[in-house]
């Protein structure tokens, strides 16, 4: 059993594809050589498609073109140096890989897992595998669904049962990570031909207009602004000004907003204003706080005394009058007083 | 003699002739120590060899000695990032404080620091009166509690780490903490390389956190017709169904009425044999007893999860830079030796005798307070403000925990 050249075009991240490329004797400097403009063009096309529709198509016409362009795209992305763009591309490629693998032959999934990632994977029966728990745990913790938690899997002698679809998901997550990390590596400074520069500029423009659309969307949700306690209001102002905030401040703000009924997406969007915003990290942390990850505990907002300890408490008259001990109590009392209803997840 | 000076003198006696056990790869471990009469911990220390470590201990006489579960390139650099982390043993802490034992209501007590409310027994996570989490615990050495902790170690090692995770017994070190529990260190390459996230998942697995009963074959209101687990199934599936089976076979009618209304409780109780039979059958099936709602099985299972999970301290296992007590050092709260052993030696391990540093000749102490405890097979106490003759190991324990002063050695 081996991977054909067509397989390498579908899965150009695998070890065999990389070996194939080095057998062609390719170097980075050559990438921008006019002789390779077709490959470069396809690489740009991959990224543009990821930006526009969030997907990349597998094309099995010119196999070398697919193998090479996939491996050149991260170089372009690292020149651009925009993590959000790199992530969007990585996600789109990972989706493509997942969809291919899901319906491909079992032996290919096993070959890729074992040869390219050094995972310990055993074929069990058609569509069913066992993967060594340590390899399973490399990526399973980032998946939200309960069936990805180890405690909900069958684990025997270190082996975890996975279906073909699940193994495909693990492989594609690994691919996503690899593309993203390659795309965020600093590039040696090389002089780029002007046509390449133009193309990069074009890509930047497309992506920034795409990003503006996302950012201009109003944060929805049943949040009632005037009921926000002063501590949260102050954190919110700091955030909107783009101030860098300590961990406790972010944690307090995120837990409050989530508990007041805002969605994970809304909270992540809000944090885009933060000085050191990193979408992947922010999303991860907000999801963790919302109880979608890790121990699945939904975190409560710290109480007033804790906020005091961290210097984040700025009581107003209402706090004093009502002897408020918890930011959520303040919010609920004010909402109740106004006759409005607290949205979903309003308990704390 | 001042208490601090006395403890130092006693500990010096031990360290002057003790053989100190160095952890593997000693040069890549961080060490930390707490000293009598000094605030905080002196950490970020490293030693090239066991001789260096030993001469430091003999010279400085620490009250507590710790080493990192982690391996670093530069263990003595103060900045944690500057140490350059290269992996960590997978460590587990099983402490009687986290396991409920009936004898706790006789010897342990707790007090809320904020409102002052206090009670005997196992400390709650938060004060039932004021919800404060600042709780002060007064816990004691106890044979029964330590036996219970030992049982948990066996289950952790044999059932979880070996059978389910596939670790070899040879890669594990069991350490009696010198107080109320045991530590398990797994040092194989797979374990050492696990990420923080992976360790959290392993922690949740062992504690049964995040279990979805539906995914393990239990019917719910929304999910019907699932294939039930079999009693011989491995992993959580089998563990849950065996626990359910055990619960039903031994449940009294009042056990059941504490969980269900009288009609349902009686249905389960009267149909015990049929229920057990259908769980034993091959392939197993969920009992179909008319009038019995199918959510009862999940409800029983959720109740028995805590009995079949292992009560490890989640903070220890999911920490990749934890400082662990150094085997062969003395525990400053008890004067007992943190004793390392293989799992085969654990069966015959007797904490008080095997971890004693001061022997069992009598000495005379003034005891301010001690509940009745059973340790090393003997009962001691209760004492309140009395002069008593006690075996030295017990006397040092009371002196270390501040419950006694020495009258004559």
Q: Which tens digits make up the pLDDT trace of A253-311? A: 999 988 888 888 888 888 876 656 677 788 888 888 888 876 667 788 888 877 876 77
Q: What is the pTM of this model?
A: 0.81
Evaluate whether the domain defined by B214-308 bears CATH number 1.10.8.160: yes
Q: Give the residue from chain B lying closest to A147, CA to CA.
A: B215
Q: What local confidence, expressed as pLDDT, does residue B325 receive?
A: 97
* DSSP secondary structure string for all residues of B28-55: G--EEEE-TT--S-EEEE--SSHHHHHH
Residue B140: how many CA atoms within 13 Å on its side-chain side? 26
Give which of A195, A130, A192, A120 is closest to A161, Cα–Cα.
A130
Residue B382: how many CA atoms within 13 Å on its side-chain side? 6
User: With an 8 Å Cβ cutoff, are A137 and B235 in contact?
Assistant: no
Average confidence (pLDDT) over B104-129? 91
Q: What local confidence, expressed as pLDDT, does residue B248 receive?
A: 96
Give how far Cα A22 sits from Cα of A15, A17, A19, Å. 11, 9, 5
Q: Which tens digits make up the pLDDT trace of B252-281? A: 999 999 999 999 999 999 999 999 999 999
Q: What local confidence, expressed as pLDDT, does residue A338 receive?
A: 62
Cβ contacts of B165 on chain A, cutoff 8 Å? 133, 155, 158
**Do you find a cis peptide bond into B116, omega within 30 degrees of 0?**
no
pLDDT beyond 90 at A28: no
Cβ contacts of A155 on chain B, cutoff 8 Å? 164-165, 205, 234-235
Evaluate whether the domain defined by B3-95+147-201+314-357 bears CATH number 3.90.920.10: yes
Q: What is the distance between the alpha carbons of residues B207 and B210, in angstroms, rounded to a whole number? A: 9
State the average pLDDT for chain A.
85
User: With an 8 Å Cβ cutoff, are B201 and A157 in contact?
Assistant: no
A231, A223 contact by CB (below 8 A):
no
Strands B42-45 and B85-88: unpaired
Q: What is the distance between the alpha carbons of residues B379 and B106, in angstroms, rounded to a whole number? A: 13
Q: Which tens digits make up the pLDDT trace of B290-349? A: 888 888 999 999 999 999 999 999 889 988 999 999 999 999 999 999 999 999 999 999
Q: For chain B, which residues make up each domain, given as ranges?
A: 3-95+147-201+314-357, 104-138, 214-308, 360-409
User: With an 8 Å Cβ cutoff, are A295 and B210 in contact?
Assistant: yes
Average confidence (pLDDT) over B113-139? 90
Q: What is the distance between the alpha carbons of residues B382 and B369, in angstroms, rounded to a whole number? A: 8
Q: Which residues contact B303 (CB under 8 A, 6 or more apart)?
A: B247, B259
User: With an 8 Å Cβ cutoff, are A154 and B237 in contact?
Assistant: yes
- How many CB atoms are closer than 10 A to CB B247? 17
- How many CB atoms are closer than 10 A to CB B155? 17
Q: What is the distance between the alpha carbons of residues B5 and B235, in angstroms, rounded to a whole number? A: 52
DSSP A274: S
Sequence-ordered alpha helix ranges (H) in B100-165: 104-107, 143-154
Sequence-ordered alpha helix ranges (H) in chain A: 5-10, 15-23, 28-31, 37-53, 63-80, 83-102, 106-111, 117, 133-139, 164-183, 194-216, 230-240, 247-259, 264-270, 279-289, 304-309, 317-321, 327-338
**Do you find a cis peptide bond into B214, omega within 30 degrees of 0?**
no
Residue A11: how many CA atoms within 13 Å on its side-chain side? 28
Average confidence (pLDDT) over B36-50? 94
pLDDT: is B30 or B99 the higher one? Answer: B30
Q: What local confidence, expressed as pLDDT, does residue A98 receive?
A: 96
User: With an 8 Å Cβ cutoff, are A146 and B210 in contact?
Assistant: yes
Q: Name the minimum distance, in Å, from the CA of B78 to any CA of chain A.
A: 21
CATH number of B360-409: 3.40.5.50
Determine what percent of chain B is predicted with pLDDT higher than 70.
Answer: 99
Indicate if the alpha-carbon torsion angle A271, A272, A274, A276 is positive or negative.
positive
Q: Which tens digits make up the pLDDT trace of A175-214? A: 999 999 999 888 777 778 888 888 899 888 888 877 655 4
């Amino acid at each position: 059993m081996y991977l054909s050249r067509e397989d390498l075009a579908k899965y150009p991240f695998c070890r065999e594809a990389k070996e194939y490329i080095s057998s062609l004797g390719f170097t980075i400097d050559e990438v921008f050589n006019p002789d390779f403009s077709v490959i470069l063009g396809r690489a740009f096309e991959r990224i543009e498609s990821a930006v526009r529709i969030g997907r990349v198509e597998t094309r099995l016409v010119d196999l070398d073109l697919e193998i090479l362009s996939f491996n050149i795209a991260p170089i372009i992305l690292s020149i651009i140096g925009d993590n959000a763009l790199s992530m969007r591309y990585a996600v789109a490629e990972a989706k493509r890989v997942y969809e291919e693998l899901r319906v491909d032959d079992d032996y290919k999934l096993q070959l890729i897992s074992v040869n390219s990632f050094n995972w310990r994977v055993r074929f069990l029966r058609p569509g069913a595998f066992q993967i060594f728990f340590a390899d399973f745990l490399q990526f399973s913790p980032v998946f939200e669904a309960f069936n990805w938690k180890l405690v909900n899997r069958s684990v025997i002698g270190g082996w975890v049962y996975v279906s073909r679809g699940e193994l495909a998901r693990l492989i594609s997550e690994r691919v996503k990570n690899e593309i993203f990390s390659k795309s965020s590596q600093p590039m040696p400074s090389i002089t780029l031909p002007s046509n390449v520069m133009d193309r990069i500029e074009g890509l930047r423009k497309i992506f920034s207009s795409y990003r503006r659309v996302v950012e201009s969307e109003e944060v929805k949700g049943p949040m009632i602004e005037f009921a926000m306690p002063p501590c949260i209001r102050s954190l919110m102002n700091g955030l909107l000004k783009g101030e860098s905030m300590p961990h406790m401040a972010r944690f307090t703000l995120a837990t409050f907003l989530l508990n007041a009924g805002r969605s994970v997406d809304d909270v992540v969007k809000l944090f885009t204003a933060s000085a050191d915003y990193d979408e992947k990290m922010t999303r991860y942390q907000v999801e963790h706080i919302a109880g979608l990850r890790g121990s699945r505990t939904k975190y409560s907002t710290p109480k007033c005394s804790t906020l005091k300890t961290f210097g984040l408490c700025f009581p107003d008259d209402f706090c004093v009058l009502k002897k408020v001990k918890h930011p959520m109590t303040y919010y609920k009392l004010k909402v109740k007083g106004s006759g409005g209803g607290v949205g979903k997840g309003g308990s704390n | 003699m001042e208490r601090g000076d006395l403890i130092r003198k006693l500990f010096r006696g031990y360290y002057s002739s003790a053989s100190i056990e160095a952890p593997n790869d000693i040069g890549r471990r961080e060490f930390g120590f707490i000293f009598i009469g000094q605030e905080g911990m002196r950490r970020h220390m490293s030693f090239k060899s066991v001789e260096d470590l030993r001469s430091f201990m003999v010279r400085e006489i620490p009250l507590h000695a710790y080493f990192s579960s982690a391996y670093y390139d530069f263990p003595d650099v103060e900045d944690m990032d500057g140490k350059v982390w290269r992996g960590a043993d997978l460590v587990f802490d099983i402490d009687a404080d986290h396991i409920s034992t009936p004898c706790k209501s006789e010897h342990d007590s707790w007090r809320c620091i904020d409102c002052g409310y206090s009670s005997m027994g196992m400390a709650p996570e938060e004060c039932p009166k004021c919800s404060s989490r600042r709780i002060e615990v007064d816990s004691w050495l106890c044979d029964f509690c330590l036996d219970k902790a030992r049982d948990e170690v066996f289950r952790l090692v044999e059932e979880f780490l070996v059978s389910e995770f596939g670790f070899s017994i040879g890669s594990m070190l069991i350490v009696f903490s010198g107080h109320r529990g045991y530590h398990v260190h797994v040092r194989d390459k797979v374990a050492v390389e696990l990420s923080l996230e992976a360790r959290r998942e392993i922690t949740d697995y062992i504690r049964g956190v995040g279990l979805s009963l539906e995914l393990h074959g239990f019917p719910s209101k929304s999910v019907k017709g699932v294939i039930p687990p079999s009693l011989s199934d491995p992993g959580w599936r089998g563990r849950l169904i065996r626990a359910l089976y055990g619960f039903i076979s031994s449940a009294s009618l009042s056990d059941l009425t504490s969980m269900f209304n009288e009609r349902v409780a009686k249905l389960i109780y009267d149909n015990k044999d049929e229920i057990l039979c259908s769980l034993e059958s091959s392939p197993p099936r969920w009992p179909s007893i008319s009038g019995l709602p199918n959510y009862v099985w999940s409800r029983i299972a959720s109740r028995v999860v805590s009995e079949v999970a292992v009560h490890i301290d989640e903070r220890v296992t999911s920490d990749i830079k934890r400082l662990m007590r150094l085997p062969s050092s003395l525990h400053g709260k008890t004067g007992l030796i943190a004793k390392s052993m293989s799992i085969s030696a654990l069966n015959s391990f007797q904490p008080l005798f095997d971890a004693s540093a001061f022997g069992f000749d009598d000495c005379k102490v003034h005891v301010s307070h001690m509940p009745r405890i059973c340790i090393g097979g003997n009962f001691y106490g209760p004492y309140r403000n009395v002069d008593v003759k006690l075996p030295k190991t017990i006397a040092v324990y009371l002196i270390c925990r501040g419950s006694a002063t020495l009258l004559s050695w």
